[in-house]
Every structure is written in C-alpha cells, then in structure tokens.
C-alpha cells in the first residue's frame, strides 16, 4: 500500500447540536487523520448525517470546536468548507438533474476557476483556456469512474447506481482534501456495491483523499475503513479499529439490544 496515514487533519471537540428541544448530537469528540478512511456508524437516528452536516457547515453546532488543518473554528459554513477542500455526497442524491453528467462535474470545479464572470461571458482568451483545462481534468475523472458512455446524458435519466457514481464524480472534481460520503452504497445491489467500494479505495489510494463515510452495510464498513466511530442516540459509544469496535459490548447492545 502506497498510502500512509498521516497527522490529524480534522479534530472535532465536544460537539453538541440540538434542534429546539431535540438533541441531535451530545458532546461528541473524534478526529480524522490524513489519508485514512474513517467510518461513522450507528442505528437509524443516531446522528450520523447530522455529524457530516456539522463538518461541512450545513448545521452549526451550539457547542464545541472544529479544527480543520490546524485552523480553529466554532463552526463551518458551507462555502468555507468547500473552499478549504471538503467535498461531499448526499444520502438522497443531490445532483443537478436537468444538467448533463459533464456539466454536473464541471460545476464541481466551480471553486477552482479563477477568471471573472465578464471574461467567461465573453469567452475571452484566458477564460477559454481555463475552461478547456478544467474540461481536461473532468475528463480524467470521467475515465477514472468509468462513466465515459454517459458523459452527455442528463443525470435525471440515469439509473440510481450511476447517479451515485456521478455524485462521487462531482465531489472529486473539486480535488478535495477530504471527502464526506453519506451512505454511498445505500440501495445498491451487490455488484454496484463492489464497484463503489473499489472506487472509494482507489480514490483514497491514488489521490490520497481522506474519506469520512457513513454506511449501514457492516461488511463493507469493516472491510474498507481504518477506524470506526459508533454513535447511538447522538452520543459516541465507541471509537477504534473495526476489530475493536466489533467486539465492544456497548456497540453490540446498540445493534442487537440488551437483555433485561
């Protein structure tokens, strides 16, 4: 394996988030190291998606601190998170359905584009060069994800599994440091799951992208992740390597229930 796990890139400290009286997250702390694949698991309603939403600034926690690449923040905002190199996919696919695969991926490069809007409107020298350069990068990602044949297809027409792959592509187009995947394999058949697993591992391996993922398929999680954090009812109940977590009594209780 070429990749090696580096320093802590994201450190979440004592994060608490509530909506009105409902506590979604209570005093959660964990860290993510560079180049690792970090899984967040837990039963339904455990606060996994809320956790991702805190990391990329959709939700602002009432308490706690987020340290990304050494920078301390009280909370993220979505634009700052994207600019800092955090990309994500969504549990319910959030692609631009009317646009083609190519256009979807090109929007993913929005932040990388430097020319101003007037230059683009006029399709003027540097803007044209820039557009072509980004197009080349996007084509690389298209090749990587093996979606050449659907390049010009409007995303809304694609089957579910491919849409998930395109969404991963859009996130990759931003060349992120960290990739947040919210149930990347939900609703897929075995074959599609295997493909997606391969892509996630390849992304991690070839681009060195740090990955934080939420997944329900325990087989997958235990196979591909380096460390796993387990949430239940908005609290952290375990944190460690897949093997450690698997044998943790509290985790077993959360998943299988306890004897009374």
Partner 1 sequence: MQFFLEVLIGGLLSGVMYSLVALGFVLIFKASGVFNFAQGAMVFFAALSLVGCMEKGAPLWLAFILAFGIMTLLGIATEKFVLRKMVNQPPISLFMATIGLAFFIEGLAPLLWGNAVRRLDIGLVDEPIPWILEHWNMVISKFDLVAAGLALALVAVLALFFQYTRVGRALRAVADDHQAALSIGIPLQHIWALVWAVAGFVALVAGMLWGARNGVQFALTFTALKALPVLILGGFTSVPGAIVGGLIIGGTEKLAEIYIPPVMSGIFGGNFGGIEGWFPYVMALLFLLVRPEGLFGEKHIDRV
Structure tokens at 38: 């970090």
Residue 52 or 230: the one with the smaller Cβ distance to partner 1 is 52
Placement of tokens 């979505």 in the chain: 78
Residue 16 CB, shortest distance to partner 1, in Å, is 23
Which stretches within 71-124 are classed as H helix?
Answer: 78-84, 101-108, 117-122
Asked whether the CA dihedral 200, 205, 206, 207 is positive or negative, the reply is: positive
Q: Does 156 bind partner 1 (CB under 8 A)?
A: yes
Q: Does 49 bind partner 1 (CB under 8 A)?
A: no
Q: Give the footprint of partner 1 on residues 108-137 (CB under 8 A).
A: 108, 110-111, 113, 115, 117, 120-121, 123, 127, 131
- At 101, give phi and psi (nearest 5°): -55, -45
Q: Does 5 bind partner 1 (CB under 8 A)?
A: no
Structure tokens at 75: 């909370």
Pairwise CA distance, residues 100 & 159, whole Å:
14
- Please choose, from the candidates 122, 140, 108, 130, the residue with its C-alpha nearest in 3D space to the C-alpha of residue 206: 140
Q: Binding residue for partner 1 (CB under 8 A) from 97, 129, 135, 198?
A: 97
Residue 179 or 200: the one with the smaller Cβ distance to partner 1 is 179
The residue range among 18-26, 64-72, 100-108, 191-199 that interacts with partner 1, by the rule CB under 8 A, is 100-108
- End-to-end alpha carbon distance in the chain: 46
The footprint of partner 1 (CB under 8 A) covers 56, 58, 78-79, 81-83, 87-88, 90, 94-99, 103-104, 106-108, 110-111, 113, 115, 117, 120-121, 123, 127, 131, 156-157, 160, 170-171, 174
């Amino acid at each position: 394996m070429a990749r090696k796990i580096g320093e802590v890139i994201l450190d979440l400290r004592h994060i608490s988030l509530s909506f009105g009286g409902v506590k979604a997250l209570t005093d959660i702390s964990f860290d993510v190291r560079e180049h690792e694949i970090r899984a967040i698991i837990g039963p339904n309603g455990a606060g996994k998606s809320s956790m991702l939403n805190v990391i990329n600034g959709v939700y602002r926690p009432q308490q706690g601190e987020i340290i990304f690449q050494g920078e301390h923040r009280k909370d993220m905002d979505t634009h700052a998170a994207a600019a800092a190199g955090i990309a994500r996919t969504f549990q319910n696919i959030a692609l631009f359905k009317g646009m083609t695969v190519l256009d979807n991926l090109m929007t993913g490069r929005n932040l990388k584009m430097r020319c101003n809007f007037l230059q683009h409107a006029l399709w003027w020298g540097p803007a044209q060069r820039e557009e072509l350069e980004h197009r080349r990068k996007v084509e690389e990602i298209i090749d990587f994800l093996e979606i050449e044949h659907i390049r010009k297809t409007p995303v809304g027409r694609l089957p579910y599994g491919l849409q998930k792959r395109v969404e991963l592509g859009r996130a990759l187009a931003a060349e992120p440091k960290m990739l947040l995947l919210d149930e990347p394999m939900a609703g897929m058949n075995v074959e599609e799951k295997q493909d997606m697993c391969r892509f996630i591992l390849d992304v991690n391996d070839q681009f060195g992208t740090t990955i934080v993922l939420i997944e329900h398929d325990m087989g997958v999680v235990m196979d591909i992740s380096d460390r796993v954090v387990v949430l239940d009812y908005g609290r952290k109940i375990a944190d460690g390597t897949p093997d450690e977590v698997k044998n943790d009594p509290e985790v077993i209780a959360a998943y299988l229930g306890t004897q009374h």
